[in-house]
Structure 1
Amino acid sequence: MPPLPKRKRSKASSRSHRASGPPAQPNIVECPHCHKPMRTHRVCPSCGFYRGRNVLGVESDLS
């Protein structure tokens, strides 16, 4: 069997352990509608589309 921790790591200990490393970088992808950079699993801030639907009423200059 693989080695297991003897005790549960407390919230403070796990948070300080996580904070010691570099912060996680956000995943940036290209919006399939307007082709501008956006974060994954979020509404595009420039065109307002998410998963092929217009979620926000953002006025855009798509020509």
Structure 2
Amino acid sequence: MAVPKRRMSRANTRTRRSQWKAHNPALMETKIDGQTVRIPRRLIKAAQLGLVEVEQF
């Protein structure tokens, strides 16, 4: 496991953290109740089972 050689300054730590960005989830097209919707892949099965409302996407 990588271990830092010395303490990193607060400014350098915050600069490094500020560069991190979340990615938008990849949307997949699927048919649910006869209509085609675009939802994240991880929610397709829950949407088909009716556990997730599709209108919020």
Establish whether TM, by shorter chain, passes 0.5: no
For Structure 1 versus Structure 2, the TM-score category normalised by the shorter chain is 0.3 to 0.5
Which is bigger in relative contact order (C-alpha 8 A, separation at least 6)?
2
Name the structure with the higher strand share. 2
When normalised by structure 1's length, the TM-score is 0.37
Q: Flag the structure with higher helix content.
A: 2
TM-score normalised to the size of structure 2?
0.38
